Structure 1
Amino acid sequence: MTNIISFEDFTKIDLRVGTITKVKDFPEARNAAYQLTVDFGDLGVKKTSAQITSLYKKEDLLNRQIVAVVNFPKKQIANFMSECLVLGAVNGKDVILLNPESKITNGTIVS
């Protein structure tokens, strides 16, 4: 069984929709990853890394909307500072990105 959290705990997580505007290789990462720049509208632009190279090519990620946690503290990953966490479903070693079904305003709250 997974850890049980309260609804109050869940409300502390700030999930937002953003659009990937830049994708770079991240050769310094321990596991194959990309560096992503994501536009969250009024929240601004945040950077993150994502281990999604097995299913996604860089050009396929540009202008793609994703869902991310935007209120974690910054985290140093190799020589890069990650500012958010892109969400995906883990299937073995593959990560399938979570995204809205239709185009929506960047920064929209996910609840």
Structure 2
Amino acid sequence: MSDEITIDDFAKLDIRIGKVLEAKEVEGSDKMVRCVVDFGEQVGKRVIFSGVRKWYEPNDLVDKLLPYVVNIVPRPMFGEESQGMLVASGADEAVLLTPDKLVDPGTKVH
């Protein structure tokens, strides 16, 4: 288990549901997928790189509603900026987490 954090630490994370509009393989990487993700009006569209290609084909991600951390500092990757981080589960493989009901892109996760 990781170190414990306070509720205030957790509250610093801005986790929102995003809808994957585009997903494609990243040249020169066997694990990264480049996604364009829509977070609705307030946040807009973002480019986010995720290391899930070992388990998911890019086309499998398109139109999925997935949780992302949107207030993480952007990170340079493959000549672009990754503007968020996918929240997934699994120790030995990536398991995508999806809402059990339809929610709008940009919906906050609490």
Say whether the fold is shared (TM-score over 0.5): yes
Which has a greater percent of strand? 1
**What is the RMSD of the two structures over their aligned residues, measured on CA atoms?**
1.3
The count of corresponding residues between Structure 1 and Structure 2 is 109
Asked if residue 77 in structure 1 is aligned to residue 86 in structure 2, the reply is no
Give the alignment of 1:86-101 within 5 angstroms.
Answer: 86-92=86-92, 94-101=93-100
The alignment's TM-score, normalised by the length of structure 1, stands at 0.90
For residue 60 of structure 1, give the secondary structure of its aligned residue in structure 2: helix
Overall identity of the aligned pairs, in %:
25
Runs (4+) off by over 3 Å: none
1:6-27, CA deviations, whole angstroms, 9 ceiling, x for partnerless residues? Answer: 1011101000001000011112
- Partner residue in 1 for 2:63: 63
* One-letter identity of the residue aligned with 1:11: A
The alignment's TM-score, normalised by the length of structure 2, stands at 0.91
* One-letter identity of the residue aligned with 2:39: F
Is 1:28–1:79's contact at 8 Å kept on the other side of the alignment?
A: no
Cα shift at 1:54:
2.3
CA distance in 2, matches of 1:101, 1:40: 18
1:19-63, CA deviations, whole angstroms, 9 ceiling, x for partnerless residues? Answer: 00001111234x521101100002100111111112212222110
For residue 68 of structure 2, give the secondary structure of its aligned residue in structure 1: strand
Name structure 2 gaps, 5 residues minimum: none
